[in-house]
Structure 1
């Protein structure tokens, strides 16, 4: 079976390679360059031609283009100049400066609705973070850009962002997130309505991302499927390098699933194709794969042969990490053959290279293998020493990133301090120059004044007298100003008192307005116990007339009468306290549930008579808050009155016979606040007036039904409690008012 499989794949490879001129051309649209006779535009074009060859010169031209674009008022060309400066600084290794220019370019592009161009700057910022090994900030930057660009017509830039994010997550070992972005990219590519340039290249990148994410997350079946898709698409694209890499990855997956013979076929085919295409990286990876195959099969001499070839190529191309990996692999083979000295020699060679190039991770791996070899040789002290060194390096790697971050912050701090010091020195230099100039002027002035000393003395006397007059006049003016200030203070106090009185009158008016609206319900609440009293007195009178009134019966009836009297007294006391003239707030510990029950006690009968269903959902665990109970009750009654008016209006205007008027009152809490919510299924509030409903005297009701003060006063009282009122409404569906008050 080995030879037929190899023949089939070689045939497919050759077929793919001859399709270069036959496949459909997929090309990216050319970058839009600034056009016209603009000086700034010409400078940008000139700078782009020098970006790769002379970034220093490009930086100078970019600054000239930026100045020219600002003078011309051309925001688009200004954005391109900023982007050019960012790219030039990136080429020069000035990453912080590059980041600032990329950020300014992205913001300016977005402000003129050039979102596709803003993506380039966002990707540039991500590239800077990647160069600084700060992948978390790169991911954060790209995800922020992704949200703003999700609905743009050009899906190619969106696809580029998705793939970049997926590869960053793959680098950070966030395999699940990387796979999600890969699937999203694949869905976008396969969307018939989306125009994707160079579709086959995009498919290769997407399938490669999905294959790597699946392999690293342990889903080897899915990984094999995706890498085979890469190979098929690479043949269509005539992309020999991608085809060779996909074959090598398929071989790796087969190695992981212990299907070594299949892995050998793919490694061997990948090696042949990479060799024909002079793909050095592909050749090295294939040789490593073949070496791993023979290692797993126990043919260590053959494995050494392939690892040695890989070592030779990587040494010529100065690929240090791969070279160290090849030396370690050769060492492992000699270890398995029992040739411990040779195994140690290769490890020491790998260690020397790792130390020379300061590759901490590679040094840690070598120390671990040296520990194993020395233990096998019975050199336990050396084994222990190497093991300790491995543990120390492993632990240091965990803190290396934090240390780099701290060092970077320290450098930035020192730079900022230096800049401040330079600024201070510059300011001191300017001050010194001014002082020197001032001293020279004073010397000339003094010399010129020596001849007119007598005149100066006379003038001084005159000036002194004038000064005395000015001082006297100034004192008089100050006294007048002081008197005016006192009058202003008195007037201000009077105005504040008038305003407070007016506010109290308005609040009292709103409160009485609420009482007027609720009068029918209050009357109903009083009529019930009055009816009980009347009936009880009739019964007593009848018993007396029938001479059947026992002392026990009389005592029972009198108790019932007193209970009804007490009920009426409580209702009247509650109304009296509620409607009393407005005074400064009296704050006590209040339970919101008690406020709800008191308010509903006053309105429930009236609402029931009007066919309004009131549902309550009270959280009995809410803590008490510091507030004025009756003002809170007034706020709730205002909201309930507005809710009743809303459902009544909807019933009056609606043709829906199944409509039922409903109001919900609920309380709840979280860690910061307690909440009181009033919901109704009325006609809702139009969006255009939501912002105005808390304005004084604003109302949608007729003059005889409302003054527009209720919500304004309610809003002011809740704000006095450091709380807030939030309104949420859906036209013809519902309206919700939610009061939030801080917990103690």
Structure 2
């Protein structure tokens, strides 16, 4: 006992010390507030509001009002919005809803003005909660839907799920369970994506409640069990107890009292580990009702009296009403008419009392709603008045500024006019001096009649006339062009800033010279004249004519050289093709010898059977079919080689089946490669489509690469000491992303890294002179480029060489 007393003293002392420390901290903040300035003062006010929020809300409101005032003085709108919102929260906590709405609305309009949609959504959600508290569900729904719209694009998933949950709860309270389910389900999807297990458990409980109200017991049980599993994983005893109780109520509604009893008892055991009197009272009520259904009346009486006692101590009126009803039912089964009547009377009295309280509450809520509507209207009117005042002020400022700007512009224009006139006079004088003394030929022409109003000394000297003898007086007299063309030229010069025309003018002594005229309209006094500079281009045109002839000659020579180069290129390609056929000659002979051998053997058999008189129609038909097949095979090989080897000067561009080209190439070489113990592995993807090009040139590419691959694997066998080396050439086709690719890979000698970039250069080769010219890869590179394709080499010395070719698919 003495130890317990000492511990209690220590506890009281610690509580006292901590409270003194908190008080000292608060006093320190208030002292700092008196000397702080600017944003520092706002930070201290925020801390003081939090300090007094629970212990002295009125003081917190006073500090929040100071925060609003200082924010306005400092013109920090985000802080003004924040402190107005805090004042709304403080009044909300005190259930002073009309005051809370007033400050929420002020904060909302400011955040709307400064385009802060997320802050607007927080405020509209809080206002919706207020209207839900006072049972004005229409207004609450209006604000919740407004919040939902604001958060669709301007918030995270957690905030969006929060408003969906609130709307679901609202429809649940309105008993519109189908709509409530839609919003709960959307919330469930968001929580499932986020992976927060506690959120998932909570929404599962809500979905279970909706399913239970909709009489979909199987789905209700499934969601309650999911919630129970998650609460157990999270070691959340209260959540476990609630989920177990919910499962019990489902079985209770189904009159499966044994299952219900098991869940209620398990819930009762769980609730002992936490302090939640309301849940404990509810579980005892449910146990009592279940025991009554099972006629275990002693246990029922014990549980119901326990729940009654708890409800009376903690004023749980909603539960007490149900307890009275269950006690009346219990004593009816116990045949105690007095007790039955007593609790029936209490049930009716309490129900009437609750109805009366609800009526009073509805009347009070109506009064609050009236005040809220009135405050909302006042706030809207206030902001409209402020906006009108601001517009008028802005209009006055704008008008004043425009008038001032107009006066400034007029002054500048007047000053510029004076300056312009002075500069114009100076400019005229300068122009006259320049005009007279300039070495270029210059004329001033009247566009109405072509009269030459003035000309400089250079003009008089160029034309060889004096202005006084009357010959250089009109443009129509100088030009050799018809008068209509000269007149049209003058009209164009008036319309455009500058024109350039080519003409011929008559000089003294009847000399004709080619001239170029640069004309522009200028204001001279009150009349528009054409200012023209005349440039003699007779020699220039002569040189241009000679240059044109030289260009024609040069173009003809270039075309001849290009044609010659194209023919040489064609010859090189044909030479390369014939080289390939030369290398493959042995293989082609072998391909033809095989069917020839079959023909010879077939004919020998026919002769032998004829000598023995054993020829039948059936046997002859079989043998003739076999012989014709072998002849057709030889014919096919010869026709293909003729087509391939033909010199195609005019290249035919057509749809090309890549797999068909590869098969035709293998037809020529496969027997030869087999004789050399080279394994040809093919993986040709079917249905890959077509490319655009020439199939014979593509076949030349394939045969050239196969020939190089054969040389590479043969070369490797020369220096290998082991006998387990297997010569392989791998051919693959495939289609990907609108491209068709061909891969030819060998496991031969490889190409060293330092020469790999040069392999497509003409005449570059590492082979001996008698084995290669170095033109093969250069030519196939050109063929692939012509067909809009690309080739990518890859090699590792002594391991492999791979060529990947890509063509656009059509």
Query: Taking structure 2 as the reference length, what is the TM-score of the superposition?
Result: 0.47
CA gap 1:701/1:342 in 2 versus in 1, 3 angstroms: same
Match of residue 100, structure 2, among 321, 334, 343: 343
Correspondence for 1:202:
none
| Corresponding position: 1:708 with 2:770 | no
CA gap 1:462/1:374 in 2 versus in 1, 3 angstroms: same
Shift of 1:741: 1.5
CA gap 1:674/1:304 in 2 versus in 1, 3 angstroms: farther
Report the Cα distance in structure 2 between the residues aligned to 1:659 and 1:614, rounded to whole angstroms.
15
CA gap 1:560/1:397 in 2 versus in 1, 3 angstroms: closer
What whole-Å deviation, never above 9, does each CA across 1:628-670 have from its counterpart, x for those lacking one?
1111111100111111112222232344544322211111112
Structure 1 unaligned regions, length at least 5: 9-263, 399-428
CA gap 1:686/1:355 in 2 versus in 1, 3 angstroms: same
Match of residue 362, structure 1, among 119, 129, 137: 119
Report the Cα distance in structure 1 between the residues aligned to 2:32 and 2:663, rounded to whole angstroms.
84
The residue matched to 1:679 in structure 2 has which SS? strand
Report the Cα distance in structure 2 between the residues aligned to 1:685 and 1:695, rounded to whole angstroms.
15
Q: Which residues in structure 2 correspond to 1:326-725 (within 5 Å)?
A: 327-351=84-108, 354=111, 359-377=116-134, 440-443=433-436, 446=455, 454=465, 461=507, 465=511, 467=513, 484=550, 487-725=553-791
What whole-Å deviation, never above 9, does each CA across 1:368-412 have from its counterpart, x for those lacking one?
3234324544667766775676567667969xxxxxxxxxxxxxx
Correspondence for 1:726:
792
Contact 1:614/1:664, CA 8 A, preserved across alignment: yes
User: Bigger CA drift: 548-557 or 473-482?
Assistant: 473-482
CA gap 1:669/1:353 in 2 versus in 1, 3 angstroms: closer
CA gap 1:324/1:462 in 2 versus in 1, 3 angstroms: closer
CA gap 1:356/1:475 in 2 versus in 1, 3 angstroms: closer
CA gap 1:356/1:605 in 2 versus in 1, 3 angstroms: closer
The residue matched to 1:467 in structure 2 has which SS? strand
CA gap 1:668/1:716 in 2 versus in 1, 3 angstroms: same
Correspondence for 1:404:
none
Structure possessing the higher relative contact order (Cα contacts under 8 Å, 6 or more residues apart): 1
CA gap 1:361/1:271 in 2 versus in 1, 3 angstroms: farther
CA gap 1:434/1:665 in 2 versus in 1, 3 angstroms: farther
Contact 1:271/1:287, CA 8 A, preserved across alignment: no
Contact 2:739/2:806, CA 8 A, preserved across alignment: yes
Aligned residues: 450
Contact 1:524/1:605, CA 8 A, preserved across alignment: yes
Contact 2:64/2:87, CA 8 A, preserved across alignment: no
Contact 2:48/2:60, CA 8 A, preserved across alignment: yes
Contact 1:585/1:628, CA 8 A, preserved across alignment: yes
Contact 1:692/1:698, CA 8 A, preserved across alignment: yes
Q: Which residues in structure 2 correspond to 1:45-194 (within 5 Å)?
A: none
Correspondence for 2:377:
none
Larger radius of gyration: 2
Contact 1:311/1:323, CA 8 A, preserved across alignment: no
Report the Cα distance in structure 1 between the residues aligned to 2:760 and 2:93, rounded to whole angstroms.
83
Shift of 1:551: 3.2
Q: Which residues in structure 2 correspond to 1:300-311 (within 5 Å)?
A: none
Shift of 1:495: 2.8
CA gap 1:450/1:284 in 2 versus in 1, 3 angstroms: closer
What whole-Å deviation, never above 9, does each CA across 1:181-217 have from its counterpart, x for those lacking one?
xxxxxxxxxxxxxxxxxxxxxxxxxxxxxxxxxxxxx
Correspondence for 1:738:
804
Contact 2:713/2:747, CA 8 A, preserved across alignment: yes
CA gap 1:355/1:493 in 2 versus in 1, 3 angstroms: closer
Report the Cα distance in structure 1 between the residues aligned to 2:600 and 2:24, rounded to whole angstroms.
107
Report the Cα distance in structure 1 between the residues aligned to 2:460 and 2:758, rounded to whole angstroms.
77
User: Bigger CA drift: 317-326 or 711-720?
Assistant: 317-326
What whole-Å deviation, never above 9, does each CA across 1:655-700 have from its counterpart, x for those lacking one?
4544322211111112322111111222332333233222221111
Contact 2:67/2:83, CA 8 A, preserved across alignment: no
Contact 2:506/2:512, CA 8 A, preserved across alignment: no
Report the Cα distance in structure 2 between the residues aligned to 1:334 and 1:313, rounded to whole angstroms.
16
Shift of 1:567: 0.9
Correspondence for 1:212:
none
Report the Cα distance in structure 2 between the residues aligned to 1:641 and 1:676, rounded to whole angstroms.
16
Contact 2:657/2:689, CA 8 A, preserved across alignment: yes
The residue matched to 1:633 in structure 2 has which SS? helix
CA gap 1:269/1:589 in 2 versus in 1, 3 angstroms: farther
User: Bigger CA drift: 363-372 or 467-476?
Assistant: 467-476
CA gap 1:582/1:348 in 2 versus in 1, 3 angstroms: closer
Report the Cα distance in structure 2 between the residues aligned to 1:435 and 1:566, rounded to whole angstroms.
99
Report the Cα distance in structure 1 between the residues aligned to 2:661 and 2:702, rounded to whole angstroms.
8
Shift of 1:614: 1.5
Query: Taking structure 1 as the reference length, what is the TM-score of the superposition?
Result: 0.51
What whole-Å deviation, never above 9, does each CA across 1:554-611 have from its counterpart, x for those lacking one?
2322221121111111111111111122322122322111011111111111222222
Report the Cα distance in structure 1 between the residues aligned to 2:625 and 2:636, rounded to whole angstroms.
16
User: Of Structure 1 and Structure 2, which has the larger fraction of its residues in strand?
Assistant: 2
